[in-house]
Chains A and B, each alone.
Chain A
Amino acid sequence: DSGVTQTPKHLITATGQRVTLRCSPRSGDLSVYWYQQSLDQGLQFLIQYYNGEERAKGNILERFSAQQFPDLHSELNLSSLELGDSALYFCASSDRTGGETQYFGPGTRLLVL
């Protein structure tokens, strides 16, 4: 158990819909990272927040957005969903600002029908 929690574990929705994925980092960790993993793409970095502020951006689509709240939990919002958005979404946390050891959550499996 990494100490990072993600909800929900599974999510099934339809194209065009909007969903919110939630992540609670390990106690004391200020950084939260979001990753997308699909079968053909491997693990893709989406975005990082540190203590409420966006710190790094990867291959995140404009239809996706994220935020980190004062209690340090983070949410990833996915809108106008497409079939290709079906993937595992992981959240990771670390105690510093970047590049350090990251602790990954169990992931949210999203299926868009």
Chain B
Amino acid sequence: LAKTTQPISMDSYEGQEVNITCSHNNIATNDYITWYQQFPSQGPRFIIQGYKTKVTNEVASLFIPADRKSSTLSLPRVSLSDTAVYYCLVAPRDQAGTALIFGKGTTLSVSS
């Protein structure tokens, strides 16, 4: 599995756009990039998944450059409720025996 590297923590203010970058230099051809959000004492929640270029949903956007060695999760106009830990995960889909490595994630703190 590709190893991922994310910043340990980030700070922001309400209303700002937040970009969290994840490095995955050893990403394989069949790997997908998935981001999860976790609030204290709750299970992680799926945010967005992509393979290449840009993916957008009602919560976030995911930017993946052509070489796929990194990805950026973009949260538009964050609010206090976006304070959470964000995990970047790189893994193949539909491949048996995939042990998913979540890492430490990025702790985002949003202030007013």
Interface residues of A, Cβ cutoff 8 Å to B: 2, 4, 33, 35, 42-45, 48, 50, 55-58, 88, 90, 92, 96-107, 109
Contacts and interface: CB of A to CB of B under 8 A. Distances in A.
6 contacts: A42-B102, A57-B99, A97-B96, A98-B92, A102-B100, A107-B43
Interface of B: 32, 34, 38, 41-46, 49, 87, 91-105
Contact of B91 (A4, A58, A88, A98): A98
A contacts with B: majority SS = strand
Given A99-B32, A99-B93, A104 B44 contact: yes
B42 A99 contact: no
Q: Which of B34, B45, B99 has the most CB of A within 10 A?
A: B99
A87 B75 CA distance: 30
Contact of B100 (A33, A88, A96): A33
